[in-house]
Amino acid sequence: MSQKLNIAAIQADLKWENPEANRLYFDDKINALESDIDLIVLPEMFSTGFSMKPQHIADEGEMLSWMQSKAATTNSAIAGSLMVTENGLFFNRFYFVEPNGTFHTYNKRHRFTLAGEHHIYERGDKQVIVNFKGWNILLQVCYDLRFPVFSRNTSNYDVVLYVANWPKKRIFAWDTLLKARAIENMCYCIGVNRVGLDGNNYEHNGYSGIYDSLGATLAFAKEEEKTIFATLSKAHLSETRNHLNFLADQDAFELK
């Protein structure tokens, strides 16, 4: 178990529907990082942008292999979502890849109907919590942020991790809800968004952030391409929860 977890979150201007260009971009960004990072977080659909046209560019394993290679080289876990194809179906799939090549997946549950995501991508059916270096990390994707019941902390997770392509016109909601998820779940909350125009001419302005269990800002990026860093502390999390045991007062109900 590691008492500290060093995070690097890469806020990027994604190249539209161009996996090779994005791979090269993130190669450079990751290669520039220091060697003491435990977890590197990339945005939602980091190889393509939030596209509804996966038919010819959905990943069939190439980007996963790249993630495994980078995780091994850097000795860091790498996390982010990809459009993937499996058995003729498409998924917006979050990958969490450990340095030894082991990987965990979460299929996005709440599909963004305003963009027609529910017509293209299959729906996830389960919550996924990864144990990495003794830290329990809940995986979530973009629109999931609006639905607090699905991220409700009944499993004693330590970190909730959101990757996104969240547009500028609704950035106030993104910024506010990230802090709310940290506060209500008494956990660290990491939100990694993109910047720049996508292929549908929607503008994204980032606002990636890392927050502690009381909603205080540990790291934040506004409207530029930027990598932000933070160190999470298990001792600080435990101390806060022991002093303010709010989770013990949650209502009991089941999600079906």
Q: How far apart are the first and last CA of the chain?
A: 33
Chain centre distance of CA 67: 14
How far apart, in whole angstroms, are the C-alpha atoms of residue 14 and residue 16? 6
Cα–Cα nearest to 81, from 116, 117, 131, 135: 117
Q: Indicate the angle between helix axes 19-31 and 62-74, nearest 10 degrees.
A: 10
Helix (H, G, I), strand (E, B) or coil at 153: coil
Concatenated DSSP letters for 2-55? -SEEEEEEEE-BPPTT-HHHHHHHHHHHHHTS-TT-SEEE--TTTTT-S-S--T
Q: Are 44 and 82 in contact (CB under 8 A)?
A: no
How far apart, in whole angstroms, are the C-alpha atoms of residue 13 and residue 233? 30
**Residue 202 is encoded by which pair of tokens?**
């929607």
**Which amino acids are annotated catalytic?**
44, 108, 142
